[in-house]
Structure 1
Amino acid sequence: MNVKVYNLDGSEKGDIELPAVFEAEYRPDLIKRAVISSLTAKLQPKGCDAFAGYRTSAKSIGKGHGKARVRRTAQGAGAFVPQAVGGRRAHPPKVEKILFERINRKEKLKALASAIAASANPEIVSARGHKIEGVPSLPLVVNAEFESLVKTKEVLEVFKTLKLDADLERAKDGVKIRAGRGKLRGRKYIKPKSVLVVVGDACEAITASRNLAGVDVITANDLSAIHIAPGTMAGRLTLWTENAIEKINGRF
């Protein structure tokens, strides 16, 4: 299957043949497993000290004293029990808890192929909430000159030319303050995802694009399901460069 390649000014440069991965079967179950596997890989196993709360001389005084039969120190203060100061936790985290979602390498690659194919389906992209009215085509492929852009305003002009600015505004207007305790733990804002830019290799466009609301930039070799299907939902609006298409063809 061939798609059109667009210059930075929005004019058509020519056609490019898409890799077969863009016609892969849509498998939302595999995509979900691959994304969860990537997310859980960041977790660090944790557990309590095996002797937490046990390092005390406290012992129970028995019944018949008109006091609760909790373990007490010589001074009469409760100890050891979860409700006492310095006591052990009632249900502490355990190191034997399974935190990771394991997935086979071939399954992971198939999930990525499925997510890439979903990003070329207008129905799935629209269902994810992206604004694609006026976007020339999906998948959207741009001239390799895009990778040489060094300023954010230049990238923004290209996005406006390709009618991607509506989705940028959606992401910018969707930034909200998170509800709950997460505000105090370094994640104050909820930020919607917008355009994903896939480039061939590390380039100036990575730093030029990432300051736009909701925009992420990744190289074709580093692309995984967590980037193109964030939140386990496939169909992210994606902008490919010519070099990225060639690199992706080499991965499958």
Structure 2
Amino acid sequence: MKIKVQTLDAAEKGDIELNDEIFAVEPRADILHRVVTWQLEKRRGTARGTRERSDVARTGKKFGRQKGGGTARHGDRRAPIFIGGGKAHGARVRDFNPSLNKKIRALGLKMALSSHAKAGSLVIMDSLAVAENKTKTLVGNLEKLNFGKTLVIDGDMVDNSFALAAGNLHKVNVMPAVGANVYDILKHDTLVLTRAAVEKLEARFNG
């Protein structure tokens, strides 16, 4: 699969051959849904469970006589209304750490990349260097390229000048190739990969 390589100035820089096993996989909604659901559930924190009346260490002896004491008919001191008693309807420990087969996760990432390639919203950049790290310069470049909400993936590290220039742009998100994931790729209108990112992603699947 061949795709044109561009620069931030909207100039062409030749072609690049993409691996069809990574960028030309037919997307399946069920696989993408499973991976996104797994990813979002992995983000959720597990609440610390509170101690309820069966968990606190207090006497189980009845508080007083059933009648004639002049007080309410309490059972034991573990009741929630007493200091040191158990919490009523407290937080329970819930497990949000599901498992998903590595092959399914890898297939989901391939399908997410392929969905952008199929829709024509995959862009390969030769370099991300921005002159003088200026946000104004980058905004002008993005207007020429007519990008919407964009995810930019670089190689080992994101180009420093681009990261500084894009820091205040809420429609542009950047990450290194190691952080590429299905959820972030799918929620952006445009996916931008550098040559280094393509090499890293292909090595990730082949390694």
TM range (shorter): 0.7 to 0.9
Give the Cα separation in 1 of the matches to 2:166 and 2:71. Answer: 67
**1:90 corresponds to:** 88
Q: Give the deviation of 1:13 after TM superposition.
A: 2.2
Q: Give the deviation of 1:59 after TM superposition.
A: 3.3
Give the Cα separation in 1 of the matches to 2:39 and 2:164. Answer: 24
Give the Cα separation in 2 of the matches to 1:56 and 1:229. Answer: 56
Stretches of structure 2 lacking an aligned partner (at least 5 in a row): none
Is contact 1:3-1:17 (8 Å) kept? Answer: yes
* Structure-to-structure mapping, 1:1-252, within 5 angstroms: 1-20=1-20, 21-42=22-43, 43-44=45-46, 46-49=48-51, 53-55=56-58, 59-65=62-68, 68-71=72-75, 80-82=78-80, 87-95=85-93, 97-122=94-119, 137-144=120-127, 146-147=128-129, 150-164=133-147, 167=148, 194-202=149-157, 203-204=159-160, 205-230=162-187, 236-252=189-205
TM-score normalised per structure 1: 0.66
Q: Give the deviation of 1:83 after TM superposition.
A: 5.0
Paired residues, number: 198
Cα deviation, 1:195-249, whole Å, max 9, x if unaligned, reads 101112312122332321132111123212232135xxxx642122222222222
Indicate the SS of the match to 1:15. Answer: strand
Q: Give the deviation of 1:45 after TM superposition.
A: 5.5
Indicate the SS of the match to 1:212. Answer: coil
Q: Give the deviation of 1:47 after TM superposition.
A: 1.7
Q: Give the deviation of 1:54 after TM superposition.
A: 4.2
Give the Cα separation in 1 of the matches to 2:171 and 2:65. Answer: 63
- 82 and 220 in structure 1: CA distance in 2 versus 1, 3 angstrom threshold: same
Indicate the SS of the match to 1:59. Answer: coil
Stretches of structure 1 lacking an aligned partner (at least 5 in a row): 73-78, 123-136, 168-193
Q: Which moved more, 1:53-62 or 1:12-21?
A: 53-62
What RMSD over aligned residues (CA atoms) do the two structures have, in Å? Answer: 2.9
Q: Give the deviation of 1:71 after TM superposition.
A: 3.6
Letter of the structure 2 residue corresponding to residue 90 of structure 1: A
Cα deviation, 1:153-203, whole Å, max 9, x if unaligned, reads 232222111012xx3xxxxxxxxxxxxxxxxxxxxxxxxxx2101112312
Indicate the SS of the match to 2:152. Answer: strand
Instruction: Pick the structure with greater CA Rg.
Output: 2
Is contact 2:67-2:73 (8 Å) kept? Answer: no
TM-score normalised per structure 2: 0.78
Is contact 1:35-1:229 (8 Å) kept? Answer: no
Give the Cα separation in 2 of the matches to 1:70 and 1:116. Answer: 64
Indicate the SS of the match to 1:158. Answer: helix
- 64 and 55 in structure 1: CA distance in 2 versus 1, 3 angstrom threshold: closer
Q: Give the deviation of 1:87 after TM superposition.
A: 3.5
Is contact 1:19-1:248 (8 Å) kept? Answer: no
Indicate the SS of the match to 1:141. Answer: strand
Letter of the structure 1 residue corresponding to residue 10 of structure 2: G
Letter of the structure 1 residue corresponding to residue 152 of structure 2: V
